Amino acid sequence: MRKSFSVRKRPYLSFARELKNLRGPARQPQNGLSSPGPVVTATEKLEETDVAEALDLSEKLYMDMSKTLGSLMNIKDMSGHVSMKHLSPKERERVNQLRQRDLDLVFDKITLLKNQLERKEELLRGYEKDIEQLRQSKVSVQMYQSQVAKLEDDIYKEAEEKALLKEALERTEQRLHHEKRVNRAIRQQKVVAKHRADQLISLRHAAASH
């Protein structure tokens, strides 16, 4: 259901006529003679002029405001841009209806713009949420990359330590093999020396017996 601005549809009556009705019957002269018409003082004429100027100013302000709103909101079919200053009551009523229609158009346009703004704000909130998720994902990726880099460093260090340990183990094995060969050679030399010593003792005993 469409809402509309509450505008009182009342013809623009002549303020001069209203003032005349409020003043009542014409004043009687002090000499008792009847006057040919109502006596209008300079003050009353000034008041009527002020009222007319106020009405003109009000009309001008409405026209300017209506044109400005129509231009800002891109409403091209506003038809109430007609001054009521010199119109009859019937024509004023028709223009008043046109102005009511213009106000409805402005309200509809405002409602449309408001709905569009709400949709754009909703989209913006969605974009901000997506950006935040991407930012968090980026942080997660950076953390993952950091962990991978640390793991690669650990693997490299482990491989380097393993290589050094393997090299030290190989040197130790080579040293053990060398010591074993040396010990074996020493033992063999001792056996040979003992065998020779035994032979020499046997020869000496044999020579002594002859």
Predicted local confidence at residue 187, as pLDDT? 85
Residue 14's pLDDT band (boundaries 50, 70, 90)? very low
Q: Measured between alpha carbons, how far is residue 60 from residues 7, 23, 108 in Å?
A: 18, 29, 24
Torsion angle of the four alpha carbons 154, 159, 165, 170, in this order, in degrees rounded to the nearest 10: 180
- Res 121: pLDDT: 92
Q: How confident is the model at residue 48 (pLDDT cuts 50, 70, 90)?
A: low
**What value does the mean pLDDT take over residues 49-54?**
71
Give the mean pLDDT of the chain.
76
- What residues contact residue 80 under an 8 Å CB cut-off, 6+ apart? 66, 95, 98, 99, 100, 101, 102
pTM, entire model: 0.41
Answer for the pair 15, 46: CB distance below 8 angstroms, yes or no. Answer: no
**What is the CB-side half-sphere exposure of residue 93 using CA atoms within 13 A?**
5
Q: What is the largest CA-CA distance in the chain?
A: 208
The pLDDT score that the predictor gives to residue 54 is 75
* pLDDT band at residue 115 using 50, 70 and 90 as cut-offs: very high
Per-residue pLDDT tens over the stretch 122-165: 999 999 998 888 888 888 888 888 989 999 999 999 999 999 99
What pLDDT, in 10s, does the model give residues 68-99? 887 877 777 777 777 777 778 888 888 888 88
**Dihedral-angle region of residue 32 (phi above 0 means left; psi in -120 to 50 means alpha; beta otherwise):** left
Alpha-carbon torsion angle 118, 124, 129, 132, nearest 10: -150
Per-residue model confidence as pLDDT tens digits over 154-177:
999 999 999 999 999 999 889 888
CB 28 within 8 A of CB 35: yes
